[in-house]
């Protein structure tokens, strides 16, 4: 399709404004955790796929790590399997684990791959079990003295990331799309929180950026005002005094660990906004919270 003169001028303006960022991040790796509204709204899904393809085209290497909690819940409902959560973690018995693998490694992963490829990209879907990319062990919840221990079943934690397969795909100009399934030393599969996986992958790859797409504007202060730029020290202090709490804590801790582990910056951004990733990476506008070391 040919562009009109007006469209060509608009494209030229956008590229000119983005050029300093393209030059700065060319050859760098950006790990993107994909979930929330961006993963279920059709317009946002298309917007996300185009963003990822464009990043690759301009020489930036995106690695996508995705979740799939709502889709897992829907399948469990259809199978009439009950769902129990403890401290926000889905208790995963053998039957649930089979459903998790089916949804994450099959349905969701392949849908994302197809979407990126339909917009001109070259995506390859893998799970953390492929090439033992995500080596995991069973998660044990820490309890206060006197509290009964809770067994989450096959919920895992990242023990180590083997970057070999991810680096190979990057080198061959593919876009890796990674499902957060890990494998233990005994071959057992584990269901792992996608935020934790994204942070661990970013750290292992020494990524330039870790981007976490959320259903909020970013990190808010006590007056519900967006905090656009924070240091890791400031964030740690906010956790200590209780300004950051609840469902945002896992994402914040994941971002802090990545930054302390060598990732240059972590971004918690609003995935409900079209082209959120491009706006955060290739403009100086910023649409969320940036955390630096």
Task: Give the model confidence (pLDDT) of 66-122 as tens digits.
Answer: 999 889 999 999 999 888 887 777 889 999 999 999 999 999 999 999 999 999 999
In a domain, residue 264? The reply is yes
In a domain, residue 9? The reply is no
Give the residue numbers spanning the domain of 148: 28-292
Model confidence pTM above 0.75: yes
In a domain, residue 8? The reply is no
In a domain, residue 19? The reply is no
In a domain, residue 78? The reply is yes
pLDDT computed for residue 49 by the predictor: 94
In a domain, residue 60? The reply is yes
Q: Considering just the CA atoms, what is the radius of gyration of the chain in Å?
A: 19
Q: Is the CB of residue 26 less than 8 Å from the CB of residue 60?
A: yes
Q: How far apart are CA 90 and CA 128, in angstroms?
A: 19
Question: 230: exposed, middle or buried (C-beta count within 10 Å: 0-12, 13-18, 19+)?
Answer: buried
Label residue 247 by pLDDT band (50, 70, 90): low
Count of structural domains within the chain? 1
Token pair in block for residue 96: 């649930």
Query: Residue 119's closest CA among 35, 38, 175, 179?
Result: 175
Chain CA centroid to CA 162, Å = 17
Query: Residue 212's closest CA among 148, 154, 290, 282?
Result: 290
What is the DSSP secondary-structure string of 135-150?
A: EEEE------TTPPP-
Q: Specify the CATH number for the domain of residue 136.
A: 3.40.1160.10
In a domain, residue 13? The reply is no
Mean pLDDT, the chain, integer: 87
In a domain, residue 286? The reply is yes
Give kind and range of the element (H or E) at residue 72.
helix 69-78
How do strand 209-214 and strand 29-34 relate by DSSP bridges? parallel
Residue-wise pLDDT for 122-164, tens only, equals 999 999 999 999 999 999 876 655 566 678 899 999 999 999 9
């Amino acid at each position: 399709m040919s562009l009109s003169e007006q469209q060509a001028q608009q494209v030229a303006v956008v590229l000119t404004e983005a050029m300093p960022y393209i030059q700065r991040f060319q050859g760098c790796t950006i790990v993107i955790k994909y979930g929330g509204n961006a993963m279920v709204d059709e317009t946002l899904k298309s917007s996300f796929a185009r963003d990822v393809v464009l990043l690759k085209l301009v020489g930036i290497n995106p690695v996508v790590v995705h979740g799939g909690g709502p889709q897992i819940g829907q399948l469990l409902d259809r199978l009439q399997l009950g769902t129990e959560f403890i401290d926000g973690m889905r208790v995963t018995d053998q039957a649930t684990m089979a459903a998790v693998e089916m949804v994450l490694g099959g349905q969701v992963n392949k849908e994302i791959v197809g979407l990126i490829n339909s917009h001109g990209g070259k995506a390859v879907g893998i799970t953390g079990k492929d090439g033992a990319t995500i080596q995991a062990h069973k998660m044990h919840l820490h309890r206060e003295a006197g509290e009964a221990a809770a067994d989450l079943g096959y919920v895992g934690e990242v023990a180590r990331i083997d970057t070999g397969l991810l680096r190979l795909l990057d080198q061959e100009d593919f876009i890796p799309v990674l499902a957060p399934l890990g494998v233990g030393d005994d071959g057992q599969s584990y269901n792992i929180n996608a935020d934790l996986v994204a942070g661990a992958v970013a750290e292992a790859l020494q990524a330039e950026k870790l981007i976490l797409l959320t259903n909020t504007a970013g990190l808010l202060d006590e007056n519900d005002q967006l905090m656009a730029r924070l240091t890791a020290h400031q964030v740690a202090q906010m956790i200590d005094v209780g300004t950051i709490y609840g469902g945002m804590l896992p994402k914040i801790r994941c971002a802090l660990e990545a930054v302390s582990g060598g990732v240059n910056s972590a971004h918690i951004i609003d995935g409900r906004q079209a082209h959120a990733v491009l706006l955060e990476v290739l403009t100086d506008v910023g649409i969320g919270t940036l955390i630096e070391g």
